[in-house]
Amino acid sequence: MAEAVALDPSRPCRVLSVAGSDSGGGAGIQADIKTIERLGGFAMTAVTAVTAQNTRQVTAVWELSPAAVVAQIQAVVADLGVDGIKCGMLASEPVVRAVAQELAGLSHLPLVLDPVMVAKSGARLLAAEAEAALRDLLLPLASVVTPNLAEAAALTGLPVETAADQERAARALVEMGAGAALVKGGHRSGLTVDDLLWDGHEAIWFSAPRQHTAHTHGTGCTLSAALATGLAQGMPLRLAVDRAIRYVQAAIAHAPGLGQGHGPLGHQLGREVLF
């Protein structure tokens, strides 16, 4: 895992989100900005793709060029500076390779990798040929990787359906180079959502009551952005994961009820809910 960053207490931590834009505002760059700012950070972005989507479907995706993505990262780093990074939707193999090459020079910073592959609507958000590049080039740079069950299976080649599978996959991801792995259990059935963190030394389970609601669009983006913010603020990994999960749970409970499909979270929830 990256070393702790020396922070200036007179300013908020600076968190860079490298991800796609969600026109519906519930996931991607938009969810990341809301989350980072809500948790006390200053959000900056490098947009990798523009999507036309709402709570029901993704109707179109326009990928940005690798040069455009890298230029955004370099502009932010050169002037504002960065304390932590979150990577989400990267869309294509050329973008994955370009981002990995650029972030290799920022390996002293905490990096949270959310391996976004498929949207809740079922639309594919990462080209199949890009999966190998993400696994081989970007995963080893990650302080933490945060896959759901399907993403963990795709990255490791292992079946990931049970609690034992989650731990096996998390260990495999760390063996593949990640500093730590948080394998999310939201897609399993049961009364609770059980997420497994393997930090290379200890398996730590986080359990939260399952909320039966359609308003869960952007939960993965929100969790990874919240985790990146915590690490950028200098929080220990376990505490950063705990706060990120609590924030997601609270945001689900305070969802505004918008849209006719998988609705967005309530990122704007009252301060007293979380702190």
* Catalytic hit among 24, 25, 84, 220: 220
pLDDT digits (tens, 9 = 90+) for 97-137: 999 999 999 999 999 999 988 665 556 667 778 899 999 99
221 is catalytic: yes
The C-alpha atoms of residue 226 and residue 245 are separated, in whole angstroms, by: 8
* Catalytic hit among 24, 28, 179, 218: 218
pLDDT digits (tens, 9 = 90+) for 168-177: 999 999 999 9
User: What confidence category does residue 42 fall into, taking pLDDT thresholds of 50, 70 and 90?
Assistant: very high
192 is catalytic: no
Q: What are phi and psi of 231, to 5 degrees?
A: -65, -40
216 is catalytic: yes
The C-alpha atoms of residue 6 and residue 193 are separated, in whole angstroms, by: 34
The C-alpha atoms of residue 22 and residue 205 are separated, in whole angstroms, by: 31
Three-state secondary structure along 123-172?
CECECCCHHHHHHHHHHHHCCEECCCHHHHHHHHCCCCCCHHHHHHHHHH
Q: At what angle do helices 163-175 and 149-156 cross, to 10 degrees?
A: 50
Instruction: State mean pLDDT over 21-35.
Output: 97
Q: Rounded to whole angstroms, what are the CA distances from 162 to 181, 183, 186, 190, 237?
A: 16, 11, 12, 11, 24
The number of beta carbons lying within 10 Å of the beta carbon of residue 65 is 13
Q: Of 111, 104, 195, 109, nearest to 148 (Cα)?
A: 195
| Mean pLDDT value across the chain | 92
Instruction: State mean pLDDT over 153-182.
Output: 96
Higher pLDDT, 200 or 116: 200
The overall pTM is greater than 0.75: yes
* Catalytic hit among 45, 156, 219, 222: 219
* Catalytic hit among 34, 86, 120, 184: 184
Q: For residue 238, what is the DSSP state?
A: H
pLDDT-wise least confident of 8-17, 189-198, 229-238:
8-17
* Catalytic hit among 13, 221, 222, 259: 221
Q: Are strands 58-63 and 42-53 parallel, antiparallel or unpaired?
A: antiparallel
162 is catalytic: no
DSSP H/E element including 175 = helix 163-175
Backbone dihedral region for residue 200 (phi beyond 0: left; psi -120 to 50: alpha; all else: beta) = left
The number of beta carbons lying within 10 Å of the beta carbon of residue 114 is 30
218 is catalytic: yes
87 is catalytic: no
The domains found in the chain, sorted by start residue, are 14-153+213-268 (3.40.1190.20)
CB 13 within 8 A of CB 110: no
Strands (E), 23-148: 42-53, 58-63, 84-87, 111-113, 144-145
Backbone dihedral region for residue 177 (phi beyond 0: left; psi -120 to 50: alpha; all else: beta) = left
CB-based contacts of 217: which residues, under 8 Å, 6+ apart?
Answer: 24, 26, 27, 55, 120, 259, 261, 262, 263, 264, 265
User: What confidence category does residue 1 fall into, taking pLDDT thresholds of 50, 70 and 90?
Assistant: very low
